[in-house]
Amino acid sequence: MSTPDLSMSHPDAPIIEVDLEHAAPHGYTSNKDAYLKRLKRIEGQVRGIARMVEEDKYCIDILTQVAAATKALHAVSLGLVEEHIGHCVVGAASEPNPEARAEQIDAKVKEATDAIGRLLR
């Protein structure tokens, strides 16, 4: 069986768009295991909070645990923002076409600022 020649596209061939944003490894990929480990720990904290409510624990003790889980989620969020800036924004800055580079940088910075805005609400 021979391999088809893909060097020239047929004029009637459909154009297939590839979502490169989601196809390439993300900035956090090298730290994925650490993020997953931390999120599983937070998941355990949240289950513990639910158990405290079920057991009618003192409200201030529950609020203390909610604050700890919230702080842990914020730490994960800040790490992901840092990874986004270090990978996605810097990656956009390496675009060789100056016009496309400016657009990509603007888009990636806007994504980061929008995400930070959601975290602060």
d(C-alpha 25, C-alpha 31), whole Å: 11
- The per-residue pLDDT for range 16-62, each reduced to its tens digit, is 444 445 445 777 778 899 999 999 999 999 999 999 999 999 999 99
Domains annotated on the chain, with CATH: 31-120 (1.20.58.1000)
- The per-residue pLDDT for range 78-102, each reduced to its tens digit, is 999 999 888 888 888 888 998 999 9
Q: What pTM was computed for the model?
A: 0.68
**What pLDDT shows up at residue 24?**
58
Q: Which residue has the tokens 């289950």?
A: 47
Q: Which residues contact 79 (CB under 8 A, 6 or more apart)?
A: 28, 31, 35
Cβ distance 84 to 29 under 8 Å? no
**What pLDDT shows up at residue 34?**
94
Beta carbons within 10 angstroms of residue 115's beta carbon: 14
